[in-house]
Amino acid sequence: ALGAISPGPSFLFVTRTSVALSRRDGIAAALGMGLGAAFLCALALIGLRAVIAQVEWVYIGFKVLGGAYLLTLAWRLWRGAAPSAGASPQKMQSERPRRGLARSFLLALATQLSNPKTVVVISGIFAALLPAHVPVWMLLAIPPIQFVIESSWYTFVAMVMSSPAPRSVYLRAQTWIDRAAGCVLGALGLRLILEGAKEAG
């Protein structure tokens, strides 16, 4: 739960989706985050950390690809942040882009999977807290529990951020908020790529 609550690309994505699109899109994104976390949990349980430790290029590849994806998201946010001439908050709200719930879900899933450090963090928690021989019932129960934790938290974020007051603030300052979000995502993506290049060297 503490890992889910900590701010990062996932939080930023759900927040922006909720205020810029709709509450339903935000909830779809929350479910995508939950599924991504459950998938990473399952990978951690079957020993992905051991694979990463033995085959370093796999982890480096995760970092570079994840960083490239975040840079792509950052560019799309920055490019789409330019305001229309004479656009009012009411007009901007009525012209909000509609990309479909499935697209919001899939973009959120990709965002969650794009951060390879999540696997390492989850694996570290498991290594510290789980028994040496994990019973089958835990293997089956932990990924769904992680799904519930992550999707519940991000659903809460979506509900709060899609309420009228936050949305009104966003619509009034959309250009600068989107550009700030793009800068944050870009910095995170660049950091992953630079870390991968440093480790490869």
Other CB atoms within 10 Å distance of the CB of residue 16: 21
Residue type at 65 in one-letter notation: L
| CA–CA distance, 71 with 138 (Å, rounded to integer) | 36
Other CB atoms within 10 Å distance of the CB of residue 172: 13
- DSSP designation for 189: H
Complete DSSP assignment for 16-69: HHHHHT-HHHHHHHHHHHHHHHHHHHHHHHTTHHHHHHH-HHHHHHHHHHHHHH
The two tokens of residue 63 are 């970092």
List the chain pLDDT tens, one digit each, 201 residues: 777 777 778 888 999 899 988 999 999 999 999 999 999 888 878 776 566 556 667 667 777 877 887 788 888 878 876 654 444 444 444 445 556 899 999 999 988 887 766 766 676 677 667 776 778 888 899 999 999 999 999 999 999 999 988 888 877 887 888 888 888 878 888 887 888 788 776
| CA–CA distance, 189 with 67 (Å, rounded to integer) | 4
